Amino acid sequence: MKTIYVDNNATTRVAPEVVEEMSPYFSELYGNPSSMHFFGGQVHSKVEEARERVAGLIGARPQEIIFTSCGTESDNTAIMSALESNPGKRHVVATRVEHPAVKNLVGHLKREGYRVTELPVDRDGLLSMDEVSRVITDDTAIVSVMWANNETGVLFPVEEIANVAKSRGVIFHTDAVQAVGKIPINLAENQIDMLSLSGHKLHAPKGIGVIYVRRGTRFSPYIIGGHQEEGRRGGTENVPYIIGMGKACELAANHLDDVKVRVKGLRDKLENGLLEKIPNSIVNGDRDQRLPNTSSISFEYVEGESILLKLSDNGICASSGSACTSGSLEPSHVLRAMGVPFTAAHGSIRFSLSSYNTEEEIDFILKVMPPIIEELRAISPFWDGSVARSCTPCLLYTSDAAD
């Protein structure tokens, strides 16, 4: 059975060029980049080349790039740094749809006595700029808003939000883990202070991340140790992965046009085809302000997990918008924050494409999916032929339901 991988927001295939570039640094070129001898020196140069490549992808200066272990560490570093370098300020602003790397950290900070505002989103997953301005106070240490949502692909106006934060003297951080490599980013042209990215979302390995810190931003390290990364992140560098990250960023810069045009075309073909062939299917999230590779679709009156298993039986790897917790299928905090009705949130599937996907794969999904939904609806207590039975108290997860 052929594997059709359309779960690239979860993780991506490591590009063969990346593996090739990393390979010698596991074996023959094993020097420590901090060593004085030539053997470490050549590794040091390659690490610096990787830094330049990462900076090149996002319009940063190489000195503004700090290598970390993952996107989660970068997010934690940004928020904790802002709090540590502004000890008098006790207020943090984020959104209700952040990835757990931010969401659970701000939840922890709330329990520690910080004041946290999680901005609501509307039914399309969009934020209100007025609301952003309204919640910032003199006590705000940081505003952290993701660039692109991992479930729906919805893009937030982070450059505009950065301007608002800046005008109020507040640090602005964006979790750009899902955005980097999918849309052009030029930090030379905006006022974003800190930005997180993660290797495994852009065809580098899992376990390597980056935090960008704009020159002049007050910064406090999260991992305190040696002098590595100019004292901004302790710990001997993960040399092969850093080199892989550099190569992946170079490739991503070359693939941006492919993602913008071809991958988006495949995503649109898949989405429009499914909406046309399957009644009671709804796209989650604004269809314009969205990543070019992501489609979150709810198939009403069926369970996402059942769809995923059937897709998996056909070699198709996607994700659902609910998580199986303590035996009950709980819709994700993102869909709840958007107020997606219970019956739709349960049957939501996320397809996320990459440059490795082909038209044949999309055609195959379009062939396989309609009978799967039909079969599952036939056994659904809530579905009666072509319409829903008047079953649904249609529990609405309003924005207030999100934590």
Instruction: List, as one string, the DSSP characters of 169-196.
Output: T-EEEEE-TTTBTTB---GGGS---EEE
Choose, by CB under 6 A, the member of 8, 12, 72, 295 that binds ligand PLP. Answer: 72
**Residue 39, token pair as written in the block:** 């053997």
**Shortest distance in whole angstroms from residue 332 CB to ligand PLP:** 12
The residue with tokens 């901005």 is: 119
CB-nearer residue toward ligand PLP: 152 or 306: 152
Choose, by CB under 6 A, the member of 99, 173, 232, 336 that binds ligand PLP. Answer: 99
**Shortest distance in whole angstroms from residue 158 CB to ligand PLP:** 12
- β 194-198/171-175 pair status: parallel
CB-nearer residue toward ligand PLP: 212 or 383: 212
**Shortest distance in whole angstroms from residue 115 CB to ligand PLP:** 23
Q: Where are the alpha helices (DSSP H) in 239-315?
A: 239-258, 264-277, 304-313
CB-nearer residue toward ligand PLP: 242 or 372: 242
Helical packing angle, 71-85 and 100-111, nearest 10°: 40
Of 16-24, 71-79, 218-226, 385-393, the window that binds ligand PLP (rule: CB under 6 A) is: 71-79
User: What torsion do the CA atoms of 246, 250, 251, 253 make, to the nearest 10 degrees?
Assistant: 130
Short-list 363, 349, 199, CA closest to 266 = 363
Query: Is 57 near ligand PLP (CB under 6 A)?
Result: no
Short-list 311, 328, 325, CA closest to 376 = 311
Choose, by CB under 6 A, the member of 146, 239, 297, 353 that binds ligand PLP. Answer: 146
CB-nearer residue toward ligand PLP: 178 or 281: 178
**Shortest distance in whole angstroms from residue 85 CB to ligand PLP:** 22
What's the rounded Cα separation, in Å, for the pair 59 and 251? Answer: 15
Chain residues 318-347 in contact with ligand PLP, contact rule CB under 6 A:
none
Choose, by CB under 6 A, the member of 140, 174, 178, 355 that binds ligand PLP. Answer: 178
CB-nearer residue toward ligand PLP: 72 or 217: 72
CB-nearer residue toward ligand PLP: 182 or 247: 182
Choose, by CB under 6 A, the member of 50, 57, 145, 177 that binds ligand PLP. Answer: 177
- Residue sitting closest to ligand PLP (CB): 71
- β 140-144/348-352 pair status: unpaired
Tell me, what amino acid is at 384? Answer: D
Query: Is 181 near ligand PLP (CB under 6 A)?
Result: no
Short-list 20, 14, 58, CA closest to 203 = 14
* Geometric angle at alpha carbon 308, from 12 and 388, rounded to 5°: 135
Query: Is 175 near ligand PLP (CB under 6 A)?
Result: yes
Of 14-22, 51-59, 173-181, 339-347, the window that binds ligand PLP (rule: CB under 6 A) is: 173-181
Tell me, what amino acid is at 392? Answer: T
Chain residues 191-220 in contact with ligand PLP, contact rule CB under 6 A:
198, 200, 209
- Catalytic positions, please? 324
Choose, by CB under 6 A, the member of 31, 33, 71, 292 that binds ligand PLP. Answer: 71
Instruction: List, as one string, the DSSP characters of 234-247.
Output: -S---HHHHHHHHH
Of 29-37, 69-77, 108-116, 214-222, the window that binds ligand PLP (rule: CB under 6 A) is: 69-77
What's the rounded Cα separation, in Å, for the pair 45 and 67? Answer: 15
**Shortest distance in whole angstroms from residue 189 CB to ligand PLP:** 22
Q: Strand, coil or helix: what is 35?
A: coil
Q: What is the CA radius of gyration of the chain?
A: 22
Query: Is 150 near ligand PLP (CB under 6 A)?
Result: yes
CB-nearer residue toward ligand PLP: 222 or 301: 222
What's the rounded Cα separation, in Å, for the pair 94 and 171? Answer: 12
Footprint of ligand PLP (CB under 6 A): 70-72, 75, 99, 101, 146, 150, 175, 177-178, 198, 200, 209
